[in-house]
Chain A
Amino acid sequence: DAGVIQSPRHEVTEMGQEVTLRCKPISGHNSLFWYRQTMMRGLELLIYFNNNVPIDDSGMPEDRFSAKMPNASFSTLKIQPSEPRDSAVYFCASSYSATNEKLFFGSGTQLSVL
């Protein structure tokens, strides 16, 4: 298996633009997680899905952030409009189930909002 696949690897955009980050979880995994990492705040859980259904989005910073999982093999995290403070590395992770703590992380998307 190729592992969790994220795209793009790097994204540079201007303030106010829409940004879409993509994630393909490991086949057979039923839970998907979006994390954000910054120097100031470390790794933060934004949202997670179980069987394609959002379970907990309490970590999503504000309404500018939205996440979808239309099927078991694809998820998106969208920021609209983007702001410089959204600059961070965004990680997607998947696991066999929501109660399985062995998470497999992707390589992340480095987002820079100018």
Chain B
Amino acid sequence: DAKTTQPPSMDCAEGRAANLPCNHSTISGNEYVYWYRQIHSQGPQYIIHGLKNNETNEMASLIITEDRKSSTLILPHATLRDTAVYYCIVRVAWETSGSRLTFGEGTQLTVNP
């Protein structure tokens, strides 16, 4: 799996957009980008994933650059409850050998009032 690089921490004001970057310069053509988050004392929570097109769901938007070497997770209107560690994971999907998501150190996002 391709390695990902994320800033260790970020701050955001409540109500503003939170833009979390992820670098995955060694990503291959069949690898997807996944985002999970972990709120303190809870299990990780799936947010969104994509291959090359931008994706949006009720939680967030995922913007993947045209060369796919980096991506940005956007929380459009951050709330205090969005304070969490955000993990960017690159993984080949639909592998017959099964899922083996590898969580790195992630970005600690702190949303301030």
Contacts and interface: CB of A to CB of B under 8 A. Distances in A.
Contact of B99 (A42, A91, A103, A104): A103
A31 B44 contact: no
Interface SS of chain A: strand
Nearest to B34: A101
Interface residues on A, range: 20 to 34
B49 interface: yes
B2 to A, nearest CB: 14
Contacts of A98: 98-99
Interface in A12-41: 31, 33
B103 to A, nearest CB: 4
Contacts of B42: 105, 107-108
Interface stretch (A43-51, A60-68, A71-79, A80-88): A43-51
A58 B3 CA distance: 20
Contact of B46 (A4, A50, A103): A103
A103 B49 CA distance: 12
A101 B98 contact: no
A105 B45 contact: yes
Interface of B: 32, 34, 36, 41-46, 49, 91, 93-105
Interface of A: 4, 31, 33, 42-43, 45, 48, 50, 55-56, 91, 93, 95, 98-108
Given A55-B98, A99-B99, 13 more contacts: A42-B104, A43-B103, A45-B102, A55-B97, A56-B98, A91-B43, A93-B44, A101-B91, A101-B99, A103-B44, A105-B42, A105-B45, A108-B42
